[in-house]
Structure 1
Amino acid sequence: MEWRDHVISDNKVLLGKPTVKGTRVSVEHIIGLLAQGWTEQQILENYPRLTNESLQAVFSYIQDCMKDGLLYSNA
């Protein structure tokens, strides 16, 4: 899965937050929904422009960010 095909950052969309390509749905919003207990199926039903593949891309993006140390502090 190449997340770069599905997750983009554009300064003109949501102030440059990473979003799913072709939508205004941010990675942050998707992760927030999952943290609130939403299932992947509920997200797909409520955001019909998202696909299973785009959700996989979001997870892959988060994994890469964590692997690169971008999501946590060394303090």
Structure 2
Amino acid sequence: MIDKLIERSPETLGGTPVFAGTRVPVRILMEHLEAGDRLDEFLNDFPTVTRDQAVALLERVTAIVVSDSFEAAA
């Protein structure tokens, strides 16, 4: 279980949300996926991010989108 998935601090990349324990902005994962890269390619490019972190982020984003879509349709 991942206790803290995302960190944001003014001392780290000016407050850009990053994967916890890294300096990798979470937006970089989305940019890789938008470009058609596979998750494994992202993980190879950013080895400080674990597969569990990346999958947990994607699951969290999916839950938010599905939740927002459901509420908008109601």
Q: TM-score, normalised by structure 2?
A: 0.71
User: In the comparison of the two structures, how many residue pairs are matched?
Assistant: 68
Higher Cα Rg, which structure = 2
Give the counterpart letter for 2:33 in structure 1. Answer: L
How far did residue 65 of structure 1 move? 5.2
- In structure 2, the CA distance between the partners of 1:63 and 1:44, relative to structure 1 (3 Å rule), is same
Higher-helix-fraction structure: 2
Provide structure 2 residue ranges, at least 5 long, that are not aligned to the other structure: 69-74
Match of 2:31 in 1: 32
* Residues in 2 aligned to 1:65 and 1:17: alpha-carbon distance in whole angstroms: 20
Q: State whether residues 7 and 61 of structure 1, in contact with CA within 8 Å, keep that contact through their aligned partners in structure 2.
A: no
Give the counterpart letter for 1:10 in structure 2. Answer: S
Give the counterpart letter for 1:55 in structure 2. Answer: A
Percent of aligned pairs sharing the same letter: 24
Provide structure 1 residue ranges, at least 5 long, that are not aligned to the other structure: 69-75
Describe how 1:1-75 pairs up with structure 2 within 5 A: 5-63=4-62, 66=65, 67=67
CA RMSD of aligned residues (A): 2.2
Q: State whether residues 6 and 21 of structure 1, in contact with CA within 8 Å, keep that contact through their aligned partners in structure 2.
A: yes
Q: TM-score, normalised by structure 1?
A: 0.70
